[in-house]
Structure 1
Amino acid sequence: MPGVSYVVPVLNEEKYIADSIRAILAQDYNGAQELILALGPSTDRTEDIVREIASTDERITVVTNPRVDIPAGLNIAISRSTQPIVIRVDAHSELSANYTTDGVRSLLDNGVANVGGIMHARGRTPFQNAIARAYNSPFGLGGAAYHGSGEAGPAESAYLGIFRREVLHEVGLYDESIRRGEDWELNLRIRQAGHTVWFDPALSVTYWPRDTWGNLARQFAATGTWRAELVRRYGGKNPWRFFVPPLLVLTWFLSLLIAGLQLTGVFSPLSSALASVVYAGPALYLLALIVVSLRMPGPLTLRDRFYSLVVFATMHLSWGFGFLVGIVRGGHHSVDTSRTTAPRER
């Protein structure tokens, strides 16, 4: 099998990085392997953990990423790597044991440029479990194939990615001016260059999402802002589902405005009745939140279902608000502060 280079951007991941590295080093793969860790200026114990593990395995190389941003770290790691296949891994994810073997075979057998599989979110606390359930639900993140299941075949984008090195260099690696949504943008350029991005549901990755409400809100606000930046750059090439959260936020804003005007007596009775139609959007959304949260599968407590409702609303409204901010001013000044602050225990 061809050699593979795992590239991992790392910042403030003391809770997850050791398990992520161990899952990579334990891959059942009959080929050369190297692991390049792009280490950002962490404020927790991440650097100590990384360097301790690196000292025990010659396959690991640690490089510094002074710019912090994920695309910059990935490009630094790719530039230091040597193998013909490049495998992106997140520091808060764990590859299944056969991920590399199955992924490289899928890449070669299908003659494609990039292969990705399913992100299976998991949690360690009740609230993080609620976030994981939302990630795994079509209602949470819009039903992209890699959040659920589906048939193997060409895809718009891929989670993480198993790449042919020559294709990465052909399209110019990751765009370092994009801090969020870099995967989608890279895969768009890969497809525009005439290559195929492939989804393979046989590939599975465990993903550990943010574990506090504040970090979740900051993450999704930043993601929405950068999605808006991608809309500003690429327009209609973005999927329609990304416009739903900002429309939801706009209906909430409009509902509050109409309510204020009604309370101050600005509208006539007829105008007020007609304007009340705007409340249908938020009402239907609240109903959907309640129904979906109550119908989440599994032996869940009432608290678990309430957490799910809160998580869904936080993801959608934070994303939508961030999108509206990004459409107005772009994404250049937006930073995902859920990564730059040290993790906090619940």
Structure 2
Amino acid sequence: MQKQTVAFSRDSSNLFFHILTKCNLSCSHCYINKDQHGADTLDIATIEAWLDLFATKASSTNLIFLGGEPTLHPDLALAVKAAKKLGFKSITIDTNGYLFHDILDKISSDDIDFLSFSLDGATPGTNDTVRGQGSYKKVLEGIEKAVGKGFSCSMIYTVSERNLHEMKQMPELVRNLGIKRFFIQVIGIRGASAGHPLQVSRKAWLDTIPETAEKIAGQGIIVTYPKVFLDPEDKFECAGNVAENFFVFPNGRVYQCPICEDFPLHSYEIRQNRLVPMPRLNEKDLFGLNIPEGCVMNKLLQPQNLAYDTAGRPEYRIACCMLKEEIMPSRIAL
């Protein structure tokens, strides 16, 4: 197996496109904030026009359709086909597994690169407490159906105090699911979780996540997880300065840092189908600040995961939330 930190690059970008904020579930850690992101469902003409705003770099841009639950959108299949015509580097649909509007019958495995399913517990008891009754069963059924139709599937597990204890059970659960990638995410203090901090401690993260990630990768599955805590020799870099990531919401706001999404600090707005830079002060003005704690946004908005010595110096630095570790198995699952 080969473990590496995925370096930021100006030559590759990510477009996280929230085509609606509506969802059939009410996950306790959902980051959607309709006061800041809007409650509209974009029509297909608007989706196509907004995709076109990023088309000049389509060949180097990874596109992810999100919600809410994107399969609730009746024209998701048309949106996928429009993106395919524009030549995006990759196309992913993030889903909770309910796969509404018979989406698997309206697109093929040639249209998208991945269907990514969210599961937040190794057992129904834990997952359904976080995501909603019956969602565990739906996810596993959805993966089985999608894999059976030839789609490449991945899984997303958002780690919090509510489900960390089941993380070590995940290698056994995913062993025979047929997924090709496994993404571990750290819970953000935003959206529904803003008033109920559920982030795990540095020790708990480091004691559990790297070891579990290696066990899953040992089964031929590519594993990606956030760096979170920088090693002493690591250089801090903010993705806002050295990469291109765009988080687009139905009200037209376009962020470059996901931690900022609870606040009107967005870098751009889409107005009349044009990408308009926002006046100062916005998130871009904060990206260049250099502090001992590492990530400025983390220090400002979710400092609970920091610790200081008796002299008031930070004991460690927090990485940019977009910095990932990736484990490539020696044997890739087919």
Q: Same fold (TM over 0.5)?
A: no
Q: Which has the larger radius of gyration?
A: 1
TM-score w.r.t. the length of structure 1 is 0.28
Greater strand content: 2
TM-score w.r.t. the length of structure 2 is 0.29
